[in-house]
Amino acid sequence: MHGHNDRELIQGSAAPEIANSSEGTPKDHVMSEIHLGCPPKFSGSFISHFAFSLPRDAEYIGSKNEYQAFDNSNQNQEVSLDDDGDLALPRRSKYSKDKLVVAIQHNITSSIPSVGLQVWRAELVLSDFVLHKMFTTSEFDGIVAVELGAGTGLVGMLLARVAKTVFLTDHGVEILENCARNVHLNSVMLPSKTLVYVRELDWKASWPPNQSNSTSSHSYGWNLSEIEELERASLLVAADVIYSDDLTDALFTTLERLMSHGLNKVLYLALEKRYNFSLDDLDVVANGYSCFRSYVRDETEHHELLQNGMECAFVGSRIDLTEIPQYANNYDRGQDLELWEIRRRELRYCG
């Protein structure tokens, strides 16, 4: 097992859609900025400990659950013998009142289809937001939540501290296995009464999602009651899932299915605008962003009125990130991260 610490997040630069090879990184690989405690030039999977500072009164606000953190910094060490030849057990949960630590197995680089093995900055912004809601309101208490494109599952696991049921969803066995491993690594911090499912939800596949049966090649399929519960989820979260237009189209098709039934469903979506030079536009453009905006009407904008019409649309507003404290230790939010609150609304127009 490799050494680690939870003191620093090492910054860099990345874009899931661009082969961003740095020294020692395979050409077709991309790299996120989040290399917490990882030795330089390390590639492959690594267990980091993400520390979140807790507000002083976190234990008393918002939820019935205590926000006690645990120090699992020795959890991943191999079992060893002490000088007398006795088994030296890793130090067990030392409770600290001012931080919450989540163990995450993640890759430092990956191929583009495996970007979900890495942690991306938008996941940390969304983590900050979710924690802020949990510390200041009881909105997420006892709810059914789903994380789409969950990757390592960090945000979903934070939600599981207060929710009733959380579905951590993604696409591809390798990513789902890594996510399930993270749930296992953090089982100490997850309340036993919360149901946490790691499930395959491929936005490009037909609906309903694959059901588990004896012929399944993996155990991330759904059963009928889980699908029903997924459709009832009132909270949807997603981070860094806007980077290619065909994926954005598929994502919004899935969102339409998940958000069309039932009132008061909300999606919090964190994204990173990444700029590239486009030959079509002969300009520097944010790939994927305009496609995303074509699906989401700005709540604050005045829209052209149809004659006596009605339509369903995604309506969103940007959340001011300066209002959201940074609980995740030592990462740089930069200028290009956005967080959106999005609902599906019936818009009625009269001429």
Interface residues with ligand SAM (CB under 6 A) are 16, 115-116, 119-120, 122-123, 149-152, 170-172, 175, 201-204, 239-241, 247, 250
- What minimum distance in Å lies between the beta carbon of 30 and ligand SAM? 9
HEC states along the chain? CCCCCCCCCCCCCCCCCCCCCCCCCCCCEEECCCCCCCCCCCCCEEEEEEEEECCCCCCCCCCCCCCCEEECCCCCCCCEECCCCCEECCCCCEEECCEEEEEEEEECEEEHHHHHHCCCHHHHHHHHHHHHHHHHCCCCCCCEEEEECCCCCHHHHHHCCCCCEEEEEECCHHHHHHHHHHHHHCCCCCCCCCEEEEEECCCCCCCCCCECCCCCCCCCCECHHHHHHHHHCCEEEEECCCCCHHHHHHHHHHHHHHHCCCCCCEEEEEEECCEEEECCCCEEEECCHHHHHHHEEECCCCCCCCCCCEEEEEEEEECCHHHCCCCECCCCCCCCEEEEEEEEEEEECCC
Q: Which is nearer to ligand SAM, 6 or 240 (CB)?
A: 240
Of all residues in the shown chain, the one whose CB is closest to ligand SAM is 116
- What minimum distance in Å lies between the beta carbon of 126 and ligand SAM? 8
Q: Which is nearer to ligand SAM, 175 or 196 (CB)?
A: 175
Q: Which is nearer to ligand SAM, 172 or 208 (CB)?
A: 172
- What minimum distance in Å lies between the beta carbon of 307 and ligand SAM? 38
- What minimum distance in Å lies between the beta carbon of 255 and ligand SAM? 12
- What minimum distance in Å lies between the beta carbon of 94 and ligand SAM? 28
Q: Which is nearer to ligand SAM, 172 or 325 (CB)?
A: 172
- What minimum distance in Å lies between the beta carbon of 343 and ligand SAM? 21
